[in-house]
Structure 1
Amino acid sequence: MPYKIPDDETLSEIIVKVATRKSRIESQRELVDLTRAELVKKDPDYRAGAERIRRTAIDGGIMRVEIEYRESESASMPEICPVCRNAMESVRNMSLDGDMVEVKRRCSVCSYGMGREVLVPGRYIFVRIGRKEPSDREIRIRKLKKARAKMREASALIESALHMTGLEDRGEYAKDMLAHLSDSKEESGSVYNIIADLKAGDAEMPGWTRPAVSVKDENRKDI
């Protein structure tokens, strides 16, 4: 049976309508059922998957998600959020030995997060918020953050693939190159610095090149 996939704008409009009528939705199943019912009213051939509906509600700033967690057998923390598919960010503190250690990881967009114990979503609750669509700049930054997360995933895959093959040194080179492209504070083309420039909103004088400037004399470098 033929079907149609609604574009992002149409799906967002439908979810806004659903959220306006019901400000608190107690499960993903309820959100999906309500959204699909409205889609069919607009076009009987429209179809949308549960994950796409959830991500559109969150990414579009239509609803915030509250998450009930359950334990996971996974031993590793994800680089990509399992809820909205945006990048996860590491939260680090200094240990008693002076080392920076990761204490938790959280999504850069939604409320998903975890400590040292790896948890996965068990249930979603969606709550309507005053819609705040992400700006074009914010969308670009989200994509770049996700690119950095994908680079970290690639690095872990390389390490796993080359374990006990005798090619570990070559794998280290590949991992170092990925880390450099992702995180370097000196390389203008690193994703880290591109994000910094987008946040600064100044293409002519990138933020990563700016010296510290005195409040009293903006032409004098602070030393």
Structure 2
Amino acid sequence: MGYEIPKEDEVKEILLKIMKRRGIIESQAELHREVVKHLKRRNKDYKLSEKRMRIIALATGKVRIEIRYKLTDKIIESMDKCPVCGGDMVRIENSTLDGENVIIGFKCTKCPYWTGRNLRVPIRYIFRYRG
């Protein structure tokens, strides 16, 4: 049995209706359940990943995502893509007393994610409507 992928506009419409009604949703899993439930009313074969839903939510400009993190011991030297939204990461630099620039972390150009040299792993997303 196959599945279908809903169009971005369809996901966006449902997502914004839910967010407008609820205002805040405390977890990605909870929002995903709600969105998928509404999508399946339109087409029982629809499938949607949590990551795609999160990226669409960010792209609306009407949903703010707060990210809770776990700090790890893993030291990172470079990071190209954001683990939250897939956006480009840029270096956060600082000047030393010698005038040399050193990398102290990385930040996303699209969403609020950032990490220092010790990798910060997202563990919870909180969604807030800001229509």
User: What TM-score does the superposition give when structure 2 sets the normalisation length?
Assistant: 0.91
- For the pair 1:72 / 2:68, whether they are aligned, the reply is no
Distance 2:98 2:119 in 1: 25
Q: Classify the secondary structure of the residue corresponding to 1:80.
A: coil
The CA distance in 1 between the partners of 2:19 and 2:36, in whole Å, is 13
Check conservation: 1:70, 1:120, Cα contact below 8 A: yes
Aligned residue-pair number:
130
1:15–1:62 CA contact under 8 A, matched in 2: no
Deviation at 1:78, TM superposition (A): 2.2
Q: Residues 13-71 of structure 1: CA distance to partner in whole angstroms, max 9, x if unpaired? A: 11111111111110110010011011112222211111111111112323111111112
Conserved? CA contact 2:107–2:114, under 8 Å: yes
2:67 and 2:2 map into 1 onto residues whose CA distance is: 35
1:73 to partner: Cα distance = 4.6
Q: Is the 8 A contact 2:74 2:118 kept in 1?
A: no
After TM superposition, the structure 1 = structure 2 runs for residues 12-91 of structure 1, keeping only pairs within 5 Å, are: 12-76=12-76, 77-91=78-92
Q: Share of identical aligned residues, percent?
A: 36
Q: Is the 8 A contact 2:73 2:118 kept in 1?
A: no
Per the alignment, residue 3 of structure 2 pairs with 3
The unaligned stretches of length 5 or more in structure 1 are 131-223
Conserved 8 A contact 1:95-1:101: yes
Matches within 5 A, 1:207-218: none
Aligned mates of 1:32, 1:62 — CA distance in 2: 17
* TM alignment of 1:61-210, pairs within 5 A: 61-76=61-76, 77-130=78-131
Q: How much does 1:108 deviate?
A: 0.7
As a proportion of its length, which structure holds more strand?
A: 2
Letter in 1 for 2:70: R
Q: Secondary structure at the match of 1:47?
A: coil
CA distance in 2, matches of 1:123, 1:73: 19
Q: Which amino acid aligns with 1:27?
A: S
Q: Distance in 2 between the 1:85 and 1:59 partners?
A: 12
Partner Cα separation in structure 1 for residue 3 and residue 118 of structure 2? 42
Q: CA deviation at 1:116?
A: 2.6
Q: 2 CA distance for matches of 1:109 and 1:74?
A: 24
Shift of residue 120 of structure 1?
A: 0.6
Give structure 1 regions of 4+ aligned residues with deviation exceeding 3 angstroms: none
- Point out the structure with the larger helix share: 1
Aligned-residue Cα RMSD (Å) equals: 1.4
Long gaps (5+) in structure 2? none
